[in-house]
Structure 1
Amino acid sequence: MSVKLYHKYSDKWFAVPKWVDHFISVGEELVLEGFESSSRIVTGIVVPAREYCAALVGFGMVVGDTIIRDRPSNEAHFNKLLCLEPGAPVVYHETDKKIRNGVICPPEKINDNYFIKFQISEPSKKGSGIFVLIGQEKAFHLHPSTNPVTLPKRRTVKEKILHNEFVGKLLPGCDLINFDIQSKFVCAIVGKKHILEQEIVNTPFAVSSDSRFTEGTLQDVLRVNSFAQGVQSHRSALLPTSLRQQPDKHIVEKVETGVIFDGADAFLRWGAIWPNRHLVIILDRTELRFNDAIHGINSIFSQNRLDIARSVPFSDLVPLPGIEILAFRERIQ
């Protein structure tokens, strides 16, 4: 990640230590690696203390995914809009701070060029409804919506939507409109909910530009489903270790990149339900079930490891003092 994070101590901002960037890089590299149909990356990391490690790996996965996959071309997005059925709900961003709901109409062809047509108000007593045409160059102003819409009878006062300034500075050049409204599960984090909530939601971080600090939290990027407020989109899932029943199948199947296990209990409880996603297991030696978790990782290593050159994406990362990393490629059965 090119943008530097800061943390607060005694009401002052300080650059985060190197180990923070280290764990973010692990998450980013796994996204860059993508997938081979026959294998995945399993990473075991032993640390002196687990605080923030799992959250930072997940943060890195979402950052990497946003940079790589949230930049489709105007043409690709325009063609996607052309395929929408008439009546499909859409969200129209007139500007970065103004939004309207609408419904798709059949496209129009003008001078051999196609335009997306959509309606933003119902007919009134004095006239017809309001329709908007946009060409390919403005395709990213319009996005499909998962929510049904009711059009107003007249052109209403524009609603305001303020993009998160922290996210904007952290991910410059990314499609923030898409980030705001598109939900998916880039990763899942398995751990104790109250601890992860403190780290992800309640701990302030900042980015700096022009000698000014813009404050935010890891949640602004991670968008953990359990911590999302209102209609906020989600980018990651939380599975508490206290969960007594099998995790939601919908979430398990929808995780795109990888799963981070915050501790031995998390890995031993739910480590087997993702047979084809990257795994990152964060452990510390003081855990009661540390040896059991190490045995589980070693079993995977000895039975299914693929011994091929450059088999892991972050093999060039230099382990920091006090941190041990075992990363290998596992054959998917």
Structure 2
Amino acid sequence: MKESFPDNISFFAQGWHPLPYWAKFFCALGYWTAIHNRTHKYRVSISAPVRDYAATFIVLGLTVGSIRFDSMSVHFETLCSLEYGTPLFYMDKLKRKKARFAGTEEHPVFNELAIKIRLESKESGGLTEYIARNRAHLVSVTEQDFTLPGNQKGYSIDANLDLISIFFGLDDPMSFISNSSYDSLIVGTLTTISEELKNTRFLVERGNVRTEGTLVDLVRPRCLIGEIGFHTDIISSTSSSGSIKSGFDPASVVVIDGANAFLRTNMDYSDHSQIVIFDRSERKYQDAITLINQEYLLGNFEKPNLDVIKPTKIPSGVLFSITTEQRGVYSGAAETY
């Protein structure tokens, strides 16, 4: 994966236009939070004239900064140690197929150790496939129990592989699709955020390669794309944090969109880094700011290391503050901009 964002990103609105600076800023803020989130817990509070698309671009930055593919060798060794017959999922191009672990053997072509997976029932011939180390990411263990079919077509997956490859700089975009993880969670108005993710088309260029798509293709919210290859989700501020399914760990970042959402849910996600976005025209804006100030006065926060984001120019009209504490330690200070 290339660390930089693509060379050029444009959006379509009665013609193609360069991505505005404020959108790039929110991407950078999400990226910065993701790469520092493992050791420290942050709250980034943003006050803006309007908050349209702020959460969605922040989540895009979080996705870029959070991509963490398991070591291929470690994953391969884990697969090799499975019990015979362990249920698996196998990503065959854009089809997810059921499989069973069938041991390890020397690959018949590449002269190296490979795992064997069985894709069809023994009664149908027991079709098997050899998976070499460099393709191990296409196989995952599942807790589901099932009987292998006789003639398996697989479950079709909707994914814009060209866009994923160009945007993230991946030689194998299936590595992004085959690894589901909660890199972030958006708490806010489901319909509004979903429309922002689905309805605006983007043109992405890296080098001399270009392709189109939407933000759904890149951040892959679970509620919109399903159980395969998701990297975020959207939850209404009226829903309980307990409605999030397994896999949402404390290292995932929560993006809270709006004062109402913050006042209702911020304590539900107190173990997580938070990026909170306020629109100064909101009716509950002052109540939310008062609560943030009270929590700051009651706490001791570390002085955050802002070296990564300091060179970034803050867009006109945008104010933000960052508080941080080392995970497991409650101490320190804050900075406001």
TM-score bin (small chain): 0.7 to 0.9
TM-score (norm 1): 0.83
Percent of matched pairs sharing the same residue: 22
> How many angstroms apart in 2 are the aligned matches of 1:240 and 1:162?
24
Aligned letter for 1:30? T
Instruction: Name which of 256, 263, 272 aligns with 1:268.
Output: 263
Which residue pairs with 2:333 in the alignment? Answer: none
Which residue pairs with 1:43 in the alignment? Answer: 44
> How many angstroms apart in 1 are the aligned matches of 2:195 and 2:298?
37
What's the offset of the Cα at 1:118?
1.7
Seen in structure 2, the aligned counterparts of structure 1 residues 134 and 275 have a Cα distance that, compared at 3 Å, is same
- Map Cα deviations across residues 16-73 of structure 1 (whole Å, 9 max, x no partner): 011111101111111111323xx5111111111100001111121112212xx12x33
Instruction: Name which of 80, 83, 104 aligns with 1:82.
Output: 80
> How many angstroms apart in 2 are the aligned matches of 1:26 and 1:252?
24
Which residue pairs with 1:8 in the alignment? Answer: 12
User: Match of 2:85, SS?
Assistant: coil
Alignment map for 1:126-145 (pairs within 5 Å): 128-145=125-142
Seen in structure 2, the aligned counterparts of structure 1 residues 40 and 161 have a Cα distance that, compared at 3 Å, is closer
Aligned-residue Cα RMSD (Å) equals 3.1
Alignment map for 1:181-330 (pairs within 5 Å): 181-208=178-205, 213-229=210-226, 231-243=227-239, 247-248=242-243, 250=245, 254=249, 256-308=251-303, 310=305, 314-330=309-325
> How many angstroms apart in 1 are the aligned matches of 2:247 and 2:262?
15
User: Match of 1:291, SS?
Assistant: helix
User: Match of 1:80, SS?
Assistant: helix
User: Match of 2:267, SS?
Assistant: coil
What's the offset of the Cα at 1:259?
0.9
Say whether 1:115 aligns with 2:127: no
Seen in structure 2, the aligned counterparts of structure 1 residues 9 and 299 have a Cα distance that, compared at 3 Å, is same
* Deviates further, 163-172 or 132-141: 132-141
Aligned letter for 2:52? E
The answer for unaligned runs of 5 or more in structure 1 is none
Aligned letter for 1:139? A
User: Match of 1:185, SS?
Assistant: coil
Q: Is the 8 Å Cα contact of residues 182 and 247 (structure 2) preserved in structure 1?
A: no
TM-score (norm 2): 0.82
> How many angstroms apart in 2 are the aligned matches of 1:89 and 1:177?
20
Seen in structure 2, the aligned counterparts of structure 1 residues 194 and 212 have a Cα distance that, compared at 3 Å, is same
Which residue pairs with 2:98 in the alignment? Answer: 101
> How many angstroms apart in 2 are the aligned matches of 1:142 and 1:330?
37
Q: Is the 8 Å Cα contact of residues 304 and 323 (structure 2) preserved in structure 1?
A: no
Seen in structure 2, the aligned counterparts of structure 1 residues 147 and 171 have a Cα distance that, compared at 3 Å, is farther
> How many angstroms apart in 2 are the aligned matches of 1:215 and 1:298?
42
User: Match of 2:183, SS?
Assistant: strand
> How many angstroms apart in 2 are the aligned matches of 1:79 and 1:25?
36
> How many angstroms apart in 2 are the aligned matches of 1:282 and 1:47?
8
Seen in structure 2, the aligned counterparts of structure 1 residues 105 and 237 have a Cα distance that, compared at 3 Å, is same
> How many angstroms apart in 1 are the aligned matches of 2:23 and 2:279?
16
Q: Is the 8 Å Cα contact of residues 101 and 116 (structure 2) preserved in structure 1?
A: yes
What's the offset of the Cα at 1:146?
5.4
Alignment map for 1:14-53 (pairs within 5 Å): 14-36=17-39, 39-53=40-54
Say whether 1:171 aligns with 2:172: no
Seen in structure 2, the aligned counterparts of structure 1 residues 284 and 213 have a Cα distance that, compared at 3 Å, is same
Seen in structure 2, the aligned counterparts of structure 1 residues 41 and 175 have a Cα distance that, compared at 3 Å, is farther
Q: Is the 8 Å Cα contact of residues 92 and 142 (structure 1) preserved in structure 2?
A: yes
